[in-house]
Amino acid sequence: MAISQIGAWVQFTTVAVVVDRLTESTTAIGVLTALQFGPLLVIGAWAGSLSDRVNRHQVVLITQSLMAVQAVLLALAHVTGTLTLGLVYVATLMLGIVSALDNPFRRGFLTELVAPDEISNVMSLNTATMTGSRIFGPAIAALLIGPFGVGWMFLINAVTSAAIIFSIVGIDRSLVREPPRVAKGGQPIREAVRFIARTPLFGSVFAIYTAVSTFGYNHNVALPRIADAAWGNRMWFGWIMTATSLGSLIGSLLTAGRPAVTLRWMTANAFVLGIAGVALAFSPSGPVALIVAVPLGLGGAGFIASMNSWSQDMCPPEMRGRVLAFSAVAFLGSYPIGGPITGVIGDSVGLTWSLLYGAVIVLGCALWLRFRLISSSIMREPIETSTLSV
């Protein structure tokens, strides 16, 4: 998965650079973000419900193969000279629909590969894999777009997709711990909503997680324009994404190494994310932003990994797919809201504010967690799965 994700981030960085070249508009990049993550907002909860009912292994194999096909189509479009803004948008929407299906199935399948007491750790390691791949992907794009062109970047993604496809095919199914499947019928999505709302603290924490996800992770919308207009070179975008990913790897590994993930740890990471976001907004140059990006990634990934680990410890096996889907909708599905807002702010108010407003919201959410939830015993103590009544 790490190899495959490196290729995916090569393509993601390349597509952002292509759209910036074609439009020189942060709003256009915001629309790109909305197309990629909008489908998850629309069908993410349904996909999570489906993942609790059908064979996750087979679905993940199909979705990963379709992602490889999308990369090949972009490469062919570049070679034939038909790579226009409209085509990029259509291909991105296609990727968004497939990713919306893949996300809960793939993450749910990971929980079937380990013992129950290792689920919290494997979810954090999953975050480490996904974020750690960004160390190499954007850097590869930054180095190779100039001498080789964007077509080869799409081809890199197509080729590296083979890694995850072959690994899925080669898994020994006798070692997979398949959970009990949810019976057809009933109200699976409503059941998940009721579970989130009625489980102690879950509803409040989930609302904070949604707010931070919506406004605190839109740096990829503003940075391509800032890199060109303020720092003098679009390639700073790739390097800063790499530095952010290095911090993300550190943050997710720190969370993965903890015996239990608490809300106190989640809150601390939110503070790091918010403070680093303010510093990035006022960075006067690319080198300064490069330094700031490391704690930005550390806090961001630590916050995500904390929520994934904490929420999986809070729910029973037959609910994990739906809870994972709702957390994915809150994080990735919120991009269609936060991305365009960030783009409009960048074009109409200023590039500094396109980063600053989100950092301020993150700090407000961190303060809420600190002062309004810190008194709870659940906030103070690690969550032990065996003591929960669900």
**Cβ 10 vs Cβ 149: under 8 Å:** no
User: What is the C-alpha separation between 204 and 381, in angstroms, rounded?
Assistant: 17
Each residue's pLDDT, cut to its tens digit, for the chain (390 residues) gives 889 989 998 998 888 888 888 887 877 887 887 888 888 778 877 787 787 778 888 899 999 999 999 999 998 988 888 888 999 999 999 999 998 888 888 888 888 888 877 877 787 788 778 777 877 887 788 788 888 888 889 999 999 999 999 998 888 888 887 766 665 655 677 777 888 777 777 888 888 999 998 999 888 788 888 888 888 787 788 788 888 888 988 988 888 888 777 888 899 999 999 999 999 999 988 889 999 999 999 999 899 888 888 877 777 776 777 777 777 777 776 667 887 888 889 888 888 898 999 999 999 999 988 887 655 544 444 444 333 333
**Cβ 302 vs Cβ 253: under 8 Å:** no
Q: What is the pLDDT of residue 375?
A: 56
Give Cβ neighbours of residue 339 (< 8 Å, ≥ 6 apart): 29, 30, 31, 32, 33, 34, 37, 218, 221
CATH topology of domain 2-170+189-384: Growth Hormone; Chain: A; (1.20.1250)
Q: What is the pLDDT of residue 51?
A: 78
Q: What is the pLDDT of residue 389?
A: 31
Neighbours of 284 (CB within 10 A): 9
User: What is the C-alpha separation between 353 and 282, in angstroms, rounded?
Assistant: 9
| Torsion 128-132-134-137 (CA) sign | negative
User: What is the C-alpha separation between 128 and 256, in angstroms, rounded?
Assistant: 8
- Token readout for 42 is 């629309």
User: What is the C-alpha separation between 140 and 242, in angstroms, rounded?
Assistant: 9
Q: What is the pLDDT of residue 382?
A: 42
Q: Tell me the domain boundaries of the chain.
A: 2-170+189-384
Q: List, as own/partner pairs, every contact residues 382-385 make where C-beta atoms lie below 8 angstroms and the sequence separation is at least 24, other chains included.
A: 382/259, 382/260, 382/261, 382/262, 383/260, 383/261, 383/262, 383/310, 383/313, 383/314, 384/260, 384/313, 385/116, 385/117, 385/313
Give Cβ neighbours of residue 147 (< 8 Å, ≥ 6 apart): none
Q: Tell me which H or E stretch contains 351.
A: helix 351-372
CA 382 to chain centre: 25
